[in-house]
Amino acid sequence: MTTAHAPGKVILFGEHAVVYGRPAIAVPVTEVRASAVVTDAPSGQGIVMRATDLDLTHRLGTATPTEHPAYPLEATVRHTLNWLGIGASLDLILTVSSTVPMARGLGSGAALATAVVRALACHLGRELTPQQVSELVYQTEVIHHGTPSGIDNTVVAFEQPVCFVKGQPIEVLQVGQPFWLAIGDTGIASPTRVAVGDVRRGWQSEPERYEALFDRIGAIARQARRAVVGGEVGALGPLVDENQALLEALDVSSPELQQLIGAARKAGAMGAKLCGAGRGGNMIALVTPDNAEPVAAALRTAGAVQVIVTQVH
């Protein structure tokens, strides 16, 4: 039996603009994770996949339609075996589970695919670098999101804070001073493909306006990178709030997100913004060890269905 895990993630700065070549900063969230377990199966059984959270059992080779619920999982297995140069005529049981909330901006699809890639490679006696894992998981991200930026698979595969620019080498960030985030879940699904598609249509109809917004978001991400590496935690709060204002201008916020963001700020958070695609999903608040619990309590009172407090280091 071989077991592998992968964390969730949040984007601190730069979502949506990262799709258009601007930098973004993302960090792993180890309080939630996906798990994959691979065991040998009786001869002739083939590869059977079980997703316990979805009450799904599926045999490899029977999920050809892209809308099939097992298709991303099957595609991940096929991509991995192809990468390893191993045919699919194996007898294995792959069991997956996850505590990463789905469609909430926490990278649930990337986390699950990363755990699967790692478990399969290890079980078959192969070692993959984080970059190789990231490239494999990106293929699954395309299935989930259409035109993903590549940031989710990167931060989840490397399990470290990263600064990401599409098409450029990944920069793993050394955090100058640890800081804390409270992550509040609206309880509303946030399909990345839909929000990204809407932003793309807006960009196509008003390219100058959208490029200006992307430029400003990118500039904030670059300032934030310097603050993170330099240990200037106090400088991050205003940047978080400014990034949120620009995301509102892109029309990817929502009343539920605004309610949680406002509650966090009122409770003493240094800054608060949505994270991920928006229109639901999660928001983040920059907190201190002293006010983390009061902010978390305020988020729950304001309607958050789950609050995660995590340290970035």
Residue 239: half-sphere exposure toward Cβ, Cα within 13 Å: 23
Angstrom CA distances, 296 to 22, 124, 126, stand at 31, 43, 42
Q: So what's the pLDDT on residue 130?
A: 94
In the predicted structure, residue 88 carries a pLDDT above the cut 90: no
Q: So what's the pLDDT on residue 145?
A: 72
In degrees and rounded to multiples of 5, residue 60 shows phi and psi of -55, 135
Q: So what's the pLDDT on residue 9?
A: 95
Which residue type sits at 278? Answer: G
Kindly report whether the global pTM for this prediction surpasses the value 0.85. yes
- Please tell me whether residue 66 adopts helix, strand or coil conformation: coil
The region, left, alpha or beta by phi > 0 then psi within -120 to 50, assigned to residue 93 is: beta
CB neighbour class for 178 (10 Å; exposed up to 12, middle 13-18, buried from 19): exposed
Q: How far apart are CA 243 and CA 276, in angstroms?
A: 12
Q: So what's the pLDDT on residue 25?
A: 96
Three-state SS string over 217-285 comes to HHHHHHHHHHHHHHCCHHHHHHHHHHHHHHHHHCCCCCHHHHHHHHHHHHCCCCEEEEECCCCCCEEEE
List, for residues 12-58, the tens digit of each pLDDT value.
Answer: 999 999 999 999 999 999 999 999 999 999 998 999 999 988 888 98
User: Who contacts 272 (Cβ-Cβ below 8 Å, separation ≥6)?
Assistant: 240, 241, 244, 260, 261, 262, 264, 265, 283, 284, 285, 286
Q: So what's the pLDDT on residue 98?
A: 95
**Which residue, 9, 216, 220, is CA-closest to 112?**
9
Structural domains of the chain sorted by starting position, each given as residue range(s) with its CATH number in brackets: 2-172 (3.30.230.10), 179-312 (3.30.70.890)
CB neighbours of residue 254 within 10 Å: 19
Q: How far apart are CA 97 and CA 8, in angstroms?
A: 13
List, for residues 264-312, the tens digit of each pLDDT value.
Answer: 999 999 999 999 899 999 999 999 999 999 999 999 999 999 999 999 9
